[in-house]
Structure 1
Protein backbone atom coordinates (compact mmCIF):
# COMPACT_ATOMS: atom_id res chain seq x y z
CA UNK A 1 0.00 0.00 0.00
CA UNK A 2 1.39 3.40 -0.97
CA UNK A 3 1.97 6.02 1.70
CA UNK A 4 -0.87 8.10 0.25
CA UNK A 5 -3.28 5.17 0.37
CA UNK A 6 -2.15 4.34 3.89
CA UNK A 7 -2.69 7.95 4.95
CA UNK A 8 -6.20 7.98 3.47
CA UNK A 9 -7.02 4.66 5.12
CA UNK A 10 -5.92 5.99 8.50
CA UNK A 11 -8.00 9.15 7.99
CA UNK A 12 -11.04 6.95 7.41
CA UNK A 13 -10.32 4.88 10.51
CA UNK A 14 -9.72 7.99 12.62
CA UNK A 15 -13.01 9.43 11.35
CA UNK A 16 -14.94 6.27 12.22
CA UNK A 17 -13.31 6.20 15.65
CA UNK A 18 -14.20 9.83 16.33
CA UNK A 19 -17.81 9.37 15.23
CA UNK A 20 -18.32 6.24 17.31
CA UNK A 21 -17.16 8.10 20.41
CA UNK A 22 -18.95 11.37 19.67
CA UNK A 23 -22.30 9.96 18.59
CA UNK A 24 -22.46 6.87 20.78
CA UNK A 25 -23.20 4.78 17.71
CA UNK A 26 -25.88 7.04 16.23
CA UNK A 27 -25.42 8.14 12.63
CA UNK A 28 -22.22 6.28 11.86
CA UNK A 29 -22.92 5.52 8.22
CA UNK A 30 -20.39 5.25 5.44
CA UNK A 31 -21.45 8.70 4.22
CA UNK A 32 -20.99 10.15 7.73
CA UNK A 33 -17.52 8.66 7.96
CA UNK A 34 -16.61 9.98 4.51
CA UNK A 35 -17.75 13.47 5.47
CA UNK A 36 -15.81 13.34 8.74
CA UNK A 37 -12.69 12.22 6.86
CA UNK A 38 -13.13 14.91 4.21
CA UNK A 39 -13.32 12.47 1.30
CA UNK A 40 -15.99 11.05 -0.98
CA UNK A 41 -18.03 8.00 -0.05
CA UNK A 42 -16.60 6.28 -3.12
CA UNK A 43 -13.11 6.81 -1.71
CA UNK A 44 -14.16 5.04 1.48
CA UNK A 45 -15.36 2.06 -0.55
CA UNK A 46 -12.01 1.88 -2.33
CA UNK A 47 -10.49 0.98 1.04
CA UNK A 48 -13.35 -0.92 2.68
CA UNK A 49 -15.84 -2.98 0.70
CA UNK A 50 -18.60 -2.65 3.31
CA UNK A 51 -19.41 -1.11 6.67
CA UNK A 52 -18.73 -4.32 8.61
CA UNK A 53 -15.20 -4.46 7.25
CA UNK A 54 -14.68 -0.80 8.15
CA UNK A 55 -15.93 -1.12 11.73
CA UNK A 56 -13.87 -4.26 12.33
CA UNK A 57 -10.81 -2.50 10.92
CA UNK A 58 -11.53 0.50 13.16
CA UNK A 59 -11.57 -1.54 16.37
CA UNK A 60 -8.35 -3.31 15.36
CA UNK A 61 -6.80 0.03 14.47
CA UNK A 62 -7.65 1.35 17.93
CA UNK A 63 -5.88 -1.62 19.48
CA UNK A 64 -2.86 -0.90 17.28
CA UNK A 65 -2.78 2.81 18.11
CA UNK A 66 -3.22 2.06 21.81
CA UNK A 67 -0.36 -0.48 21.66
CA UNK A 68 -2.29 -3.42 23.08
CA UNK A 69 0.54 -5.88 22.42
CA UNK A 70 2.93 -3.76 24.47
CA UNK A 71 0.40 -3.48 27.29
CA UNK A 72 0.11 -7.27 27.45
CA UNK A 73 3.85 -7.91 27.50
CA UNK A 74 4.04 -8.18 31.31
CA UNK A 75 1.30 -10.79 31.28
CA UNK A 76 3.01 -12.79 28.54
CA UNK A 77 6.34 -12.74 30.37
CA UNK A 78 4.89 -13.69 33.77
CA UNK A 79 6.55 -16.70 35.39
CA UNK A 80 3.40 -18.22 36.89
CA UNK A 81 -0.20 -18.65 35.81
CA UNK A 82 -1.49 -16.53 38.69
CA UNK A 83 0.96 -13.74 37.85
CA UNK A 84 -0.12 -13.93 34.22
CA UNK A 85 -3.79 -13.54 35.10
CA UNK A 86 -3.04 -10.69 37.51
CA UNK A 87 -1.00 -8.83 34.90
CA UNK A 88 -3.75 -9.42 32.35
CA UNK A 89 -6.30 -7.88 34.71
CA UNK A 90 -4.01 -4.88 35.28
CA UNK A 91 -3.56 -4.33 31.54
CA UNK A 92 -7.25 -4.75 30.77
CA UNK A 93 -8.46 -2.44 33.55
CA UNK A 94 -6.04 0.24 32.32
CA UNK A 95 -7.26 -0.20 28.77
CA UNK A 96 -11.04 -0.21 29.20
CA UNK A 97 -11.31 3.50 30.19
CA UNK A 98 -9.44 4.44 27.01
CA UNK A 99 -11.77 2.49 24.71
CA UNK A 100 -14.95 2.83 26.75
CA UNK A 101 -16.53 5.38 24.40
CA UNK A 102 -16.20 3.08 21.40
CA UNK A 103 -17.13 0.00 23.41
CA UNK A 104 -20.25 1.70 24.75
CA UNK A 105 -21.24 2.76 21.24
CA UNK A 106 -20.84 -0.74 19.82
CA UNK A 107 -22.76 -2.24 22.74
CA UNK A 108 -25.61 0.19 22.10
CA UNK A 109 -25.60 -0.57 18.38
CA UNK A 110 -24.97 -4.28 18.16
CA UNK A 111 -28.47 -5.61 18.85
CA UNK A 112 -29.87 -3.81 15.81
CA UNK A 113 -26.76 -3.27 13.69
CA UNK A 114 -25.09 -6.31 12.15
CA UNK A 115 -21.89 -4.46 11.27
CA UNK A 116 -21.49 -3.22 14.84
CA UNK A 117 -22.19 -6.71 16.16
CA UNK A 118 -19.48 -8.17 13.93
CA UNK A 119 -16.97 -5.54 15.05
CA UNK A 120 -17.82 -6.12 18.71
CA UNK A 121 -17.63 -9.90 18.41
CA UNK A 122 -14.30 -9.69 16.59
CA UNK A 123 -12.67 -7.82 19.47
CA UNK A 124 -14.38 -9.84 22.17
CA UNK A 125 -13.13 -13.08 20.63
CA UNK A 126 -9.60 -11.66 20.63
CA UNK A 127 -10.10 -10.71 24.28
CA UNK A 128 -11.39 -14.20 25.04
CA UNK A 129 -8.32 -15.76 23.42
CA UNK A 130 -6.15 -13.72 25.77
CA UNK A 131 -8.17 -15.00 28.73
CA UNK A 132 -7.81 -18.57 27.49
CA UNK A 133 -4.03 -18.31 27.15
CA UNK A 134 -3.81 -17.06 30.74
CA UNK A 135 -5.99 -19.92 32.00
CA UNK A 136 -3.93 -22.46 30.05
CA UNK A 137 -0.82 -21.19 31.82
CA UNK A 138 -2.57 -21.73 35.15
CA UNK A 139 -3.62 -25.23 34.10
CA UNK A 140 -0.15 -26.27 32.89
CA UNK A 141 1.35 -25.70 36.32
CA UNK A 142 -1.44 -27.56 38.08
CA UNK A 143 -2.83 -24.44 39.71
CA UNK A 144 -6.28 -24.43 38.08
CA UNK A 145 -9.06 -25.43 40.49
CA UNK A 146 -9.96 -29.04 39.58
CA UNK A 147 -13.70 -28.41 39.38
CA UNK A 148 -13.22 -26.34 36.22
CA UNK A 149 -12.09 -27.23 32.73
CA UNK A 150 -9.95 -24.74 30.83
CA UNK A 151 -13.03 -23.83 28.80
CA UNK A 152 -15.16 -23.21 31.89
CA UNK A 153 -12.44 -21.21 33.63
CA UNK A 154 -12.00 -19.12 30.48
CA UNK A 155 -15.75 -18.46 30.47
CA UNK A 156 -15.52 -17.20 34.06
CA UNK A 157 -12.49 -14.96 33.50
CA UNK A 158 -13.88 -13.56 30.24
CA UNK A 159 -17.27 -12.80 31.79
CA UNK A 160 -15.99 -11.23 35.01
CA UNK A 161 -13.66 -8.95 33.02
CA UNK A 162 -16.37 -7.90 30.55
CA UNK A 163 -16.88 -4.23 29.75
CA UNK A 164 -20.40 -4.38 31.18
CA UNK A 165 -19.13 -5.68 34.53
CA UNK A 166 -16.31 -3.11 34.58
CA UNK A 167 -18.94 -0.43 33.91
CA UNK A 168 -21.14 -1.70 36.73
CA UNK A 169 -18.33 -1.84 39.27
CA UNK A 170 -16.48 1.38 38.42
CA UNK A 171 -19.23 3.68 37.17
CA UNK A 172 -22.41 2.45 38.83
CA UNK A 173 -20.81 1.29 42.11
CA UNK A 174 -18.05 3.90 42.12
CA UNK A 175 -15.12 1.54 42.62
CA UNK A 176 -11.68 3.02 42.02
CA UNK A 177 -9.31 1.29 39.62
CA UNK A 178 -7.30 0.06 42.61
CA UNK A 179 -10.36 -1.39 44.34
CA UNK A 180 -11.56 -2.98 41.09
CA UNK A 181 -8.19 -4.63 40.47
CA UNK A 182 -7.73 -5.88 44.02
CA UNK A 183 -11.22 -7.31 44.42
CA UNK A 184 -11.47 -8.88 40.98
CA UNK A 185 -8.09 -10.54 41.49
CA UNK A 186 -9.10 -11.79 44.93
CA UNK A 187 -12.38 -13.14 43.60
CA UNK A 188 -10.75 -14.89 40.65
CA UNK A 189 -8.06 -16.39 42.88
CA UNK A 190 -10.74 -17.86 45.12
CA UNK A 191 -12.70 -19.26 42.20
CA UNK A 192 -10.03 -20.42 39.77
CA UNK A 193 -6.84 -21.13 41.69
CA UNK A 194 -6.39 -24.46 43.42
CA UNK A 195 -6.64 -24.34 47.21
CA UNK A 196 -3.17 -25.48 48.29
CA UNK A 197 -4.31 -26.21 51.83
CA UNK A 198 -6.72 -28.83 50.50
CA UNK A 199 -4.04 -30.30 48.26
CA UNK A 200 -1.62 -30.58 51.20
CA UNK A 201 -4.22 -32.46 53.20
Structure 2
Protein backbone atom coordinates (compact mmCIF):
# COMPACT_ATOMS: atom_id res chain seq x y z
CA UNK A 1 0.00 0.00 0.00
CA UNK A 2 1.35 3.41 -0.92
CA UNK A 3 2.28 5.69 1.93
CA UNK A 4 0.67 9.08 2.29
CA UNK A 5 2.14 12.27 3.70
CA UNK A 6 0.28 11.57 6.97
CA UNK A 7 1.47 8.00 7.39
CA UNK A 8 3.02 7.81 10.88
CA UNK A 9 5.68 5.46 9.51
CA UNK A 10 7.06 8.39 7.60
CA UNK A 11 9.23 9.78 10.38
CA UNK A 12 10.16 12.93 8.52
CA UNK A 13 6.53 13.70 7.76
CA UNK A 14 5.55 13.18 11.39
CA UNK A 15 8.35 15.48 12.58
CA UNK A 16 7.13 18.19 10.24
CA UNK A 17 3.53 17.74 11.30
CA UNK A 18 4.49 17.88 14.98
CA UNK A 19 6.58 21.00 14.32
CA UNK A 20 3.56 22.69 12.73
CA UNK A 21 1.33 21.82 15.67
CA UNK A 22 4.00 22.90 18.14
CA UNK A 23 4.26 26.19 16.25
CA UNK A 24 0.49 26.55 16.48
CA UNK A 25 0.63 26.07 20.23
CA UNK A 26 3.44 28.60 20.59
CA UNK A 27 1.57 31.22 18.59
CA UNK A 28 -1.52 30.77 20.73
CA UNK A 29 0.51 31.05 23.94
CA UNK A 30 2.60 34.06 22.91
CA UNK A 31 0.52 36.03 20.43
CA UNK A 32 -3.07 34.81 20.78
CA UNK A 33 -5.54 33.11 18.49
CA UNK A 34 -5.88 36.23 16.35
CA UNK A 35 -2.28 35.81 15.16
CA UNK A 36 -2.82 32.22 14.02
CA UNK A 37 -2.51 32.03 10.23
CA UNK A 38 -1.03 29.41 7.96
CA UNK A 39 1.75 31.85 7.07
CA UNK A 40 2.54 32.51 10.73
CA UNK A 41 2.68 28.77 11.42
CA UNK A 42 5.02 28.22 8.48
CA UNK A 43 7.34 30.99 9.65
CA UNK A 44 7.34 29.77 13.25
CA UNK A 45 8.05 26.17 12.17
CA UNK A 46 10.61 27.37 9.60
CA UNK A 47 8.99 25.60 6.69
CA UNK A 48 7.31 26.79 3.53
CA UNK A 49 3.61 27.54 3.29
CA UNK A 50 3.43 24.66 0.84
CA UNK A 51 4.69 22.32 3.56
CA UNK A 52 1.91 23.49 5.85
CA UNK A 53 -0.73 22.82 3.21
CA UNK A 54 0.69 19.36 2.52
CA UNK A 55 -0.33 18.43 6.06
CA UNK A 56 -3.34 20.67 6.68
CA UNK A 57 -5.73 21.95 4.04
CA UNK A 58 -6.86 24.88 6.14
CA UNK A 59 -6.45 26.63 9.47
CA UNK A 60 -9.63 24.87 10.57
CA UNK A 61 -8.04 21.49 9.96
CA UNK A 62 -4.89 22.60 11.77
CA UNK A 63 -6.83 23.71 14.84
CA UNK A 64 -8.90 20.52 14.79
CA UNK A 65 -5.71 18.47 15.04
CA UNK A 66 -4.47 20.52 17.98
CA UNK A 67 -6.55 18.74 20.63
CA UNK A 68 -5.12 15.28 19.90
CA UNK A 69 -1.61 16.71 19.60
CA UNK A 70 -1.78 18.43 22.98
CA UNK A 71 -3.35 15.34 24.54
CA UNK A 72 -0.50 13.19 23.27
CA UNK A 73 2.22 15.68 24.14
CA UNK A 74 0.95 16.34 27.68
CA UNK A 75 -0.05 12.74 28.44
CA UNK A 76 -3.82 13.07 28.71
CA UNK A 77 -4.45 9.32 28.54
CA UNK A 78 -1.88 8.58 31.24
CA UNK A 79 -3.40 11.31 33.40
CA UNK A 80 -7.00 10.13 33.06
CA UNK A 81 -6.50 6.33 33.05
CA UNK A 82 -6.38 6.21 36.89
CA UNK A 83 -9.86 7.77 36.95
CA UNK A 84 -11.36 4.93 34.92
CA UNK A 85 -9.25 2.28 36.67
CA UNK A 86 -10.11 3.44 40.19
CA UNK A 87 -11.66 0.74 42.40
CA UNK A 88 -14.50 2.97 43.60
CA UNK A 89 -16.11 6.34 42.99
CA UNK A 90 -14.24 8.19 45.74
CA UNK A 91 -10.91 6.93 44.48
CA UNK A 92 -11.95 8.04 40.99
CA UNK A 93 -12.73 11.49 42.34
CA UNK A 94 -9.32 11.66 43.98
CA UNK A 95 -7.71 10.70 40.67
CA UNK A 96 -9.79 13.34 38.91
CA UNK A 97 -8.57 16.11 41.21
CA UNK A 98 -4.98 14.95 40.76
CA UNK A 99 -5.48 15.05 37.01
CA UNK A 100 -6.95 18.55 37.10
CA UNK A 101 -4.17 20.02 39.21
CA UNK A 102 -1.35 18.49 37.18
CA UNK A 103 -2.70 18.52 33.61
CA UNK A 104 -4.90 21.59 33.32
CA UNK A 105 -2.33 24.21 34.46
CA UNK A 106 -0.03 23.24 31.58
CA UNK A 107 -2.70 24.23 29.06
CA UNK A 108 -4.09 27.34 30.73
CA UNK A 109 -2.47 29.76 28.28
CA UNK A 110 -3.84 27.92 25.26
CA UNK A 111 -7.22 27.68 26.93
CA UNK A 112 -7.25 31.41 27.63
CA UNK A 113 -6.32 32.24 24.02
CA UNK A 114 -9.17 30.11 22.69
CA UNK A 115 -11.70 31.31 25.25
CA UNK A 116 -11.06 34.92 24.34
CA UNK A 117 -12.21 34.51 20.72
CA UNK A 118 -14.48 31.47 20.73
CA UNK A 119 -17.61 33.60 20.29
CA UNK A 120 -16.28 35.23 17.14
CA UNK A 121 -13.98 32.59 15.60
CA UNK A 122 -15.51 29.36 14.30
CA UNK A 123 -12.24 27.42 14.51
CA UNK A 124 -11.78 28.39 18.17
CA UNK A 125 -15.42 27.51 18.87
CA UNK A 126 -15.02 24.03 17.40
CA UNK A 127 -11.88 23.42 19.45
CA UNK A 128 -13.71 24.53 22.58
CA UNK A 129 -16.57 22.13 21.78
CA UNK A 130 -14.10 19.24 21.44
CA UNK A 131 -12.53 20.07 24.80
CA UNK A 132 -15.92 20.51 26.45
CA UNK A 133 -17.22 17.16 25.20
CA UNK A 134 -14.15 15.36 26.57
CA UNK A 135 -14.42 17.12 29.93
CA UNK A 136 -18.15 16.48 30.26
CA UNK A 137 -17.64 12.79 29.51
CA UNK A 138 -15.23 12.49 32.44
CA UNK A 139 -17.49 14.50 34.75
CA UNK A 140 -20.49 12.36 33.80
CA UNK A 141 -18.49 9.21 34.52
CA UNK A 142 -17.67 10.48 38.00
CA UNK A 143 -21.26 11.48 38.76
CA UNK A 144 -22.63 8.17 37.49
CA UNK A 145 -20.16 6.17 39.60
CA UNK A 146 -21.03 8.14 42.72
CA UNK A 147 -24.73 7.59 42.09
CA UNK A 148 -24.32 3.89 41.30
CA UNK A 149 -22.46 3.37 44.58
CA UNK A 150 -25.00 5.48 46.51
CA UNK A 151 -22.29 7.98 47.39
CA UNK A 152 -23.67 11.00 45.51
CA UNK A 153 -24.73 13.49 48.19
CA UNK A 154 -28.16 15.13 48.03
CA UNK A 155 -29.43 17.28 46.47
CA UNK A 156 -27.12 16.42 43.57
CA UNK A 157 -28.36 14.41 40.63
CA UNK A 158 -26.15 12.86 38.00
CA UNK A 159 -26.96 15.74 35.67
CA UNK A 160 -26.44 18.57 38.14
CA UNK A 161 -23.27 16.99 39.55
CA UNK A 162 -21.92 16.54 36.02
CA UNK A 163 -22.57 20.17 35.24
CA UNK A 164 -21.02 21.47 38.46
CA UNK A 165 -17.95 19.23 38.17
CA UNK A 166 -17.47 20.59 34.68
CA UNK A 167 -18.02 24.17 35.83
CA UNK A 168 -15.22 23.76 38.37
CA UNK A 169 -12.73 23.11 35.56
CA UNK A 170 -12.16 26.83 35.45
CA UNK A 171 -9.02 28.50 34.15
CA UNK A 172 -9.87 31.46 36.37
CA UNK A 173 -9.85 29.22 39.45
CA UNK A 174 -6.45 27.73 38.62
CA UNK A 175 -4.90 31.08 37.70
CA UNK A 176 -6.20 32.78 40.81
CA UNK A 177 -4.95 30.12 43.20
CA UNK A 178 -1.66 29.20 41.51
CA UNK A 179 -0.62 32.63 40.24
CA UNK A 180 -2.77 35.10 42.12
CA UNK A 181 -2.39 33.51 45.57
CA UNK A 182 0.85 31.64 45.02
CA UNK A 183 -0.49 28.20 45.92
CA UNK A 184 1.51 25.15 44.96
CA UNK A 185 -0.13 22.47 42.85
CA UNK A 186 0.07 20.15 45.84
CA UNK A 187 -1.76 22.61 48.08
CA UNK A 188 -4.38 23.18 45.42
CA UNK A 189 -4.89 19.44 45.02
CA UNK A 190 -5.32 18.96 48.78
CA UNK A 191 -7.91 21.69 49.23
CA UNK A 192 -9.73 21.09 45.96
CA UNK A 193 -10.11 17.44 46.91
CA UNK A 194 -11.54 18.43 50.28
CA UNK A 195 -14.01 20.71 48.52
CA UNK A 196 -15.09 17.92 46.16
CA UNK A 197 -15.43 15.31 48.90
CA UNK A 198 -17.43 17.56 51.21
CA UNK A 199 -19.67 18.74 48.38
CA UNK A 200 -20.43 15.69 46.28
CA UNK A 201 -19.85 12.64 48.50
CA UNK A 202 -22.02 11.23 51.26
CA UNK A 203 -21.30 8.37 53.63
CA UNK A 204 -22.18 4.93 52.29
CA UNK A 205 -25.65 3.74 53.30
CA UNK A 206 -25.76 1.61 56.42
CA UNK A 207 -26.53 -2.07 55.98
CA UNK A 208 -29.76 -3.01 57.69
CA UNK A 209 -29.54 -6.27 59.58
CA UNK A 210 -32.26 -8.59 60.73
CA UNK A 211 -32.78 -9.06 64.48
CA UNK A 212 -30.86 -12.32 64.23
CA UNK A 213 -27.87 -10.52 62.87
CA UNK A 214 -28.00 -12.28 59.52
Whether 2:163 is the aligned partner of 1:155: answer: yes
Whether 2:39 is the aligned partner of 1:31: answer: yes
Whether 2:65 is the aligned partner of 1:57: answer: yes
Deviation of the 1:195 alpha carbon: 4.5
1:72 aligned counterpart, secondary structure: helix
TM-score for both structures, normalised by structure 2: 0.83
Q: Find the partner of 1:186 among 170, 176, 194.
A: 194
1:112 aligned counterpart, secondary structure: coil
Larger radius of gyration: 2
Deviation of the 1:10 alpha carbon: 1.4
Q: Matched residues in 1 for 2:57 and 2:93: separation? A: 38
Q: Is the 8 A contact 1:52 1:119 kept in 2?
A: no
Whether 2:115 is the aligned partner of 1:87: answer: no
- Tell me which residue corresponds to 2:53: 45
Task: Indicate the structure with greater helix content.
Answer: 1
Q: Is the 8 A contact 1:144 1:192 kept in 2?
A: yes
- Tell me which residue corresponds to 2:123: 115
- Tell me which residue corresponds to 2:76: 68
Aligned positions, number: 199
TM-score for both structures, normalised by structure 1: 0.88
Q: RMSD of the TM alignment (CA)?
A: 2.1
- After superposition, the C-alpha distances for 1:44-99 in whole angstroms (9 at most, x for unaligned) are 22322221221121232011011111122322221110110111111111112221
Q: Which has the higher contact order (CA 8 A, sep 6+)?
A: 1
Whether 2:139 is the aligned partner of 1:131: answer: yes
1:83 aligned counterpart, secondary structure: helix
